[in-house]
Structure 1
Amino acid sequence: MEGCRRVPLLVSNRKAYVWNVDDIAVIRTECRVCGTLLGTLPHLSQQNAFLGVPLVLQPEEAVLLVDKELAVLIDDPAAHSSPELVALERWNSEWKELIQKQISALEAKDARDHSKDRSTSEKAQQKREQREARRAAAIANKIDTDAGPVAVKDPIQAPRPPQTVPAYTIVVPGTSTSFSWYTPAPHTYTTIQAAKDAGIWSYPSDLTERAKCAVFRDLWDKGYYMGGGLKFGGDYLVYPGDPLRYHSHFTATVIESPNKTVMPMEVVAHGRLGTATRKTHLFCTWDEKAGKVSYVSIEWAGFG
């Protein structure tokens, strides 16, 4: 795909992960692959509604990206060597220096902002005092000689904001890709077969897995987005666009061979479940000899 650079997929225990948020944005917006976020967010470690990095890919997603030359597989454990103590100390000092520079710059900016605010506040206070003085003088000029003394209120003092400890956002290195002890080049594989030969990847390994990869690729070529369909009784949920913007239109079940028997109760169950969840259920049959995917859609319909 034009404009889509090859994204590094870090493989550990035969699962493909993406840790860099820029890479996650690339594979979602340019490569139309969503994956699933697994990590918790800082300060919200007990919730599971809004998750963060890493992003784990379905094996079909990883195979698609590599086959389409949109990504490469990296043996992440092998790419990390054991750093020497001197290198760790140097990195630690550089890390602290980077943080201190950011804090100093933010404190200087905060001081300039406070100086401007204080100058503006003093000018406003002076204007209020002058206005109160003119008002008091006008009242004094209109006082009748028989009237008693009139008390003039002190100028209104603007309330001072409570003193709070400033909170700064500090950017620190989030990945190990810039470390001197991280050398991915010798452990990078541009094809699935090369990764299999190296022993870091095994998918697809049988007819069922090859059928899933073929169906996933065919739907992707047609412009759809795919997500996990386990909750809706299928292999994939099929979206017409990004799942953040669209509801899924189909639930897809992969059938690895045209000769496989599908039980009538299975057809009824998928049809009723799909209709109850406002989706059409797809039976996606992979013919390995012909290299072709066939689709049959079913919906539950009332009669009479």
Structure 2
Amino acid sequence: MIVGRVVDENRVLIWNAEDAYKLRKDHRIVGNYVGALPCKPRQDVWLGLPLELMPEETTLLLEQGVLRLHEAQRPPLPNIHSTEEGVVEKKLKMSTDDHATVDRVVRWSFPQTPQEELHYKVFRDLWTKGYYLTAGLKYGGDYLVYPGDPFLVHSHYVAIVKDSSEVFSTQQLILAGRVTTKVKKNVLLCSQNTSNGELVYITVQWTGIT
């Protein structure tokens, strides 16, 4: 069972390297590395552990029985004092209570709103179809959809999730099409049929005018 640490109620971090590898290899869960590399801490091109999971990834793993959430334990504050030689030491103040700290299991509550439910339904459906998904904010969407591991292939679609009652103007459609075409991707509009609850996908490819 993989253990995720919950920080600030809605952020889930994976600190174990083997667990992060297993999520990617066995479950097609990519996440996002947010930690600095020990060998090169002053750059942000290549990042390392911990691995942060999207809320959709967390809920999916919980449903699959793969993940267990625990509350992140904050380390005790250092007790700074001077020695007889005048050298400053830092010692962690460890009391008997610190050793008896309970690793509490956290209850997860995503999705809550109708919008979150639609996003999760789309995420789970695309994942079930065999795709890899990552956050798509970089290209103005909700998810980037990959046919294989993102380390090996580029994403084919920028998924934009819209409720059937939302207005998606022509200008927004043109902007999305031009942006995705610039990076050699297609727009994937995702919504839900209000009559039967089935998901509806529309692929938009920008061809331009010649």
Q: TM-score, normalised by structure 1?
A: 0.58
Alignment partner of 2:128 out of 199, 208, 221: 221
After superposition, residues 109-258 of structure 1 pair within 5 angstroms as 181=100, 183-184=102-103, 187-188=104-105, 195=107, 201-255=108-162, 257-258=163-164
Q: Residue 302 of structure 1 aligns with which residue?
A: 208
Q: Residue 137 of structure 1 aligns with which residue?
A: none
The yes-or-no answer on 1:274 pairing with 2:191 is no
Query: Percentage identity across aligned positions?
Result: 34
Q: Residue 31 of structure 1 aligns with which residue?
A: 27
Q: Tell me which of the two structures has the higher relative contact order, counting C-alpha pairs closer than 8 angstroms and 6 or more residues apart.
A: 1
Question: d(CA) in 1 for partners of 2:165 and 2:43?
Answer: 46
Q: Residue 13 of structure 1 aligns with which residue?
A: 8
Q: Residue 105 of structure 1 aligns with which residue?
A: none
Alignment partner of 1:263 out of 151, 163, 169: 169
Secondary structure at the counterpart of residue 30 of structure 1: helix
Whether the 8 Å contact between 1:41 and 1:52 is mirrored in structure 2 is yes
For structure 1, which runs of at least 5 residues remain unmatched after alignment? Answer: 1-5, 88-178, 190-194, 196-200
Whether the 8 Å contact between 1:232 and 1:251 is mirrored in structure 2 is yes
Q: Residue 93 of structure 1 aligns with which residue?
A: none
Deviations 1:106-137 (A, max 9, x none): xxxxxxxxxxxxxxxxxxxxxxxxxxxxxxxx
Whether the 8 Å contact between 2:176 and 2:187 is mirrored in structure 1 is yes
Question: d(CA) in 2 for partners of 1:230 and 1:84?
Answer: 42
- State the 1:72 CA deviation: 1.6
Deviations 1:185-209 (A, max 9, x none): xx225xxxxx1xxxxx442221111
- State the 1:303 CA deviation: 4.2
- State the 1:291 CA deviation: 3.7
Q: 1:289 to 1:40 in 2, by over 3 A?
A: farther
Q: Which has the higher helix share?
A: 1
Secondary structure at the counterpart of residue 268 of structure 1: helix
Whether the 8 Å contact between 1:251 and 1:282 is mirrored in structure 2 is yes
Q: Which amino acid aligns with 1:282?
A: L
Larger radius of gyration: 1
Question: d(CA) in 1 for partners of 2:39 and 2:207?
Answer: 49
Question: d(CA) in 1 for partners of 2:47 and 2:157?
Answer: 25
Whether the 8 Å contact between 2:76 and 2:93 is mirrored in structure 1 is no
Deviations 1:152-176 (A, max 9, x none): xxxxxxxxxxxxxxxxxxxxxxxxx
Q: Residue 74 of structure 1 aligns with which residue?
A: 70
Q: Which has the higher strand share?
A: 2
After superposition, residues 51-90 of structure 1 pair within 5 angstroms as 51-77=47-73, 85=94
- State the 1:223 CA deviation: 0.4
Question: d(CA) in 1 for partners of 2:191 and 2:48?
Answer: 35
RMSD over aligned Cα, in angstroms?
2.7
Secondary structure at the counterpart of residue 73 of structure 2: helix
Q: TM-score, normalised by structure 2?
A: 0.83
Aligned pairs, number: 195
Question: d(CA) in 2 for partners of 1:287 and 1:75?
Answer: 38
For structure 2, which runs of at least 5 residues remain unmatched after alignment? Answer: 78-91
Q: Residue 47 of structure 1 aligns with which residue?
A: 43
Q: 1:220 to 1:283 in 2, by over 3 A?
A: same
Question: d(CA) in 2 for partners of 1:288 and 1:34?
Answer: 31
